[in-house]
Structure 1
Amino acid sequence: MTQLTMPAKSPAARRAPRRPQRAVTLNLIAVAAGLAVWTLLGVLGVQALPTPLEVAAKAGELIADGTLLGDALASLRRVLLGFLLGTLLAVPIGFLMGWYATARGLLEPYIQFFRTIPPLAIIPLAIVLLGIGEVPKVFVIFLAAFLSSVVATFQGVVDVDRTLINAARVLGASDRTIFLKVVVPASTPFILVGMRVGLGSAWGTLVAAELIAAQEGLGFRMQQAQLYYDLSTIFVGLIAIGVLGLLMDRLLLLAERHLTDWQERR
């Protein structure tokens, strides 16, 4: 009787389960090395740099009196609102530009023009037209997220393999079916990458946006600390922005892996 044997796993398959553990280990090593270098520079007194322990103590003070939580919530609200509005508008416009040549011809000049202008350069105009309330702050963040997402969505649509579209047409699929069943799934990885880039742009624009007569927010707190050379508070703000941005990016990455699990990954 012939004995059936299972095929041996490839080296890549045998290594696959270990990749997340190895990545986490490398991340921890990198963080530990960064903290060690930071501590050394602080102990040596380079540019009066605070040590991690001093920054942690300042963070404890700001948490205890509620300042850090209030600032974080204010900044998070602005970023989420601007990012969501920018993404919700960018995705349909990107699909229109990629799917319809007429829409592309009409919209692309404006998209490419404003894409070359830094969102921060819009702040003076936003103040004049929109005042100094929450609207101009959210608008500047919205613009940063919108421009990244719309270009990524557009590129995703135009890069869809024409063979897939032609094969669907041969099988009798309508344009609507092709768009929903072929173009949208194939564009999803591009859209999600654009959202991640847009999220980074939104957080990167936050500090400048909070220059517009803000009374709370991480960017506002850092600017106030700058006036008094309070480096510890500046570091607390930087770390808080980095942690919040990283958590939101990880959530988008999880969504990307869930929605594009059909893709081959290295």
Structure 2
Amino acid sequence: MRMIELAFSGQLWLDMFASLRRVLIGFLFGSLIAVPVGFLMGWYRIARAVIDPWIQFFRVIPPLAIIPLAIVTLGIDEKPKIFVIFLAAFLSSVVATYQGVISVDRTFINAARVLGANDRVIFARVIIPASTPFILVGFRIGLGSAWATVVAAELIAAQSGLGFRMQQAQLYYDLPTIFVSLIAIGILGLIMDRIVVRAEQRLTHWQERVYHD
């Protein structure tokens, strides 16, 4: 079986590690920057007026379309790959965070003000908890975008990674290797998604949920 052969040779683990490393770095940086930017956009109108047009501008440009530009400007090493992953994760998370802030029920904010809470307390005790479900949904979408982007980036310019392995297998019509790479991507993506879902369950346990049989 091809998966067993690649696993015992160590090639599968090296490719998985290379792709996972790129995804984690780009996703973490993109998400960490997106959350405060999203809060600023949702909380301050001036910030929204300045930042939102740029966000919308880059949203309509697929991150995959930026790969050639990133390679030309940043070279062919890890920087362009991580940058496009960062951009994909950032755009997903910043929009979700912004939507979470503006979706907070004004009744909660007004009630907090009546009780004497200042802006800092309202932000920490009302806005952040109420926005958390939106932020985590943005993380899940960002993860999917990150994996799609890293595979495309590795197809264009890489010396390792699951996308690179699929490209090499394509040249030799090596379907088993292509399927193994696809399965590895699916497993890694699923594991990361389940981690975010578990975090969502822990952080939003107070939220009412509706389940259908």
TM-score class, shorter-chain normalisation, is: over 0.9
- Structure 1-normalised TM-score? 0.78
Tell me the secondary structure at the aligned position of residue 94 of structure 1: helix
Q: Which residue of structure 1 aligns with residue 21 of structure 2?
A: 77
CA contact (8 A) 1:165 1:178 kept: yes
Amino acid at match of 1:149: S
Give 1:127 deviation, angstroms: 1.0
Q: Which residue of structure 2 aligns with residue 237 of structure 1?
A: 181
> C-alpha distance in 1, partners of 2:86/2:121?
31
1:133-212 alignment runs, 5 A limit: 133-212=77-156
1:77-96 alignment runs, 5 A limit: 77-96=21-40
Q: Which runs of 4 or more aligned residues in structure 1 lie more than 3 Å from their structure 2 counterparts after TM superposition? A: none
Give 1:59 deviation, angstroms: 0.3
CA RMSD, Structure 1 to Structure 2 (Å): 0.6
CA contact (8 A) 1:137 1:212 kept: no
Give 1:147 deviation, angstroms: 0.4
1:41-120 alignment runs, 5 A limit: 57-120=1-64
Q: Name the count of aligned residue pairs.
A: 210
1:12-27 alignment runs, 5 A limit: none
Q: Pick the aligned partner of 1:262 from 192, 206, 209.
A: 206
Q: Which residue of structure 2 aligns with residue 3 of structure 1?
A: none
> C-alpha distance in 1, partners of 2:67/2:161?
17
> C-alpha distance in 1, partners of 2:51/2:190?
32
- Structure 2-normalised TM-score? 0.97
Give 1:213 deviation, angstroms: 2.7
Give unpaired runs (5+ residues) of structure 2. none
Aligned-residue identity in percent: 73
